[in-house]
Amino acid sequence: MNRDMLQGQWSQIKGRIKNAWGELTDDDLAKTEGDWDKLVGKIQERTGQVREDIERGLNNLLDRINEETRIGHDPLNEPRTDY
């Protein structure tokens, strides 16, 4: 499910992924195109983390996003208040 969610909502999710793995650049994210294996590989390349830890982190992040959306709190669609 999370792999499908990643691909389907890539443009909304990539900012959260960049926040979680600050070593990633916008170019890194663009090259992965929302592909699970490419993303895991790029995170591994940039951070040195093992694949299992990266996948666990991605699944946790996507589960949180899914839960926020399910309960009606979607921070990805809230108006910005930081101007």
Q: Cα separation of 19 and 16, whole Å?
A: 5
Indicate whether 79 belongs to any domain.
no
Structural domain that includes position 11:
2-70
- 80 belongs to a structural domain: no
The answer to whether the CB of 51 falls within 8 A of the CB of 57 is no
- Tokens 């443009």 locate to 11
CATH number of residue 19's parent domain? 1.10.1470.10
Identify the pLDDT of residue 74. 52
pLDDT tens per residue, range 47-79 = 999 999 999 999 999 998 888 877 665 555 555
Q: Say what the pTM is.
A: 0.78
Q: What is the pLDDT of residues 17-51, one digit of tens each?
A: 999 999 999 999 999 999 999 999 999 999 999 99
